[in-house]
Amino acid sequence: MSVYDFSAKLITGEEQSLRDYSNQVMLIVNTATECGFTPQLEELQRLYEIYRDDGFVVLGFPCNQFGGQEPGPNAEVAQKCRMDYGVEFPLFAKINVKGDDAHPLFKYLTEEAKGILTEAIKWNFTKFLIDRDGNVVKRYAPMTKPEKITEDIDSIL
């Protein structure tokens, strides 16, 4: 099993297979536009711009499970991400990333890369680095700035 076995709805409503990102290095992130970590959206966009020509993509999954920090509808989320933070990387429809209703992709990610003390995602901007074969390489805490991940990205590109 790999992340390629999953699909999710894009923020515009179309179903997107993660298999379409095969042979790319992915950084999968649960995001929120009203979080203290929200400025990371600009940093994630910078990573995407730096590495996309080398086969790297950031996939953003908005989530409202942590402090209600993503309350708006998908269209509003997309507009905020693009207008306020310059996001061009793929954004998906709002999902749950923990609990019984967690999206199957995030259930898989947290099983493959457990967090400290628990496998559950604890807050917005938890990041998962995926290699070109769809395997989870590493999990990063919300406070890990995207720029701190560049060495790991370089090592698998």
pLDDT tens-digit map of 70-94: 999 999 999 999 999 999 999 999 9
Residue 113: its pLDDT value, please?
78
Say which residue the tokens 């967090």 belong to. Answer: 115
Do 69 and 33 contact (CB within 8 A), yes or no? yes
What is the model's pTM? 0.95
pLDDT beneath 70, residues of the chain: 114-119
Total number of domains in the chain: 1
Task: Identify any residues that bridge with 103 across adjacent strands, giving them in sequence order.
Answer: none
For residue 15, the Cα-to-chain-centroid distance in whole angstroms is: 16
Task: Starting at the earlier edge strand, list the strands of the sheet with 127-130.
Answer: 56-62, 25-31, 127-130, 136-140
Residue numbers of the domain that contains 123:
3-156
Looking up residue 47, the CATH number of its domain turns out to be 3.40.30.10
Report the 10 Å Cβ neighbour count for 23: 10
Q: How, if at all, do strands 56-62 and 127-130 pair?
A: unpaired
11, 35, 91, 102: the catalytic one is: 35
Asked if residues 40 and 144 have their Cβ atoms less than 8 Å apart, the reply is: no
63 a catalytic residue: no
What pLDDT score was predicted for residue 100? 93
pLDDT of residue 17: 98
Length of the chain as a residue count? 157
- CA 16/CA 88 separation, integer angstroms: 16
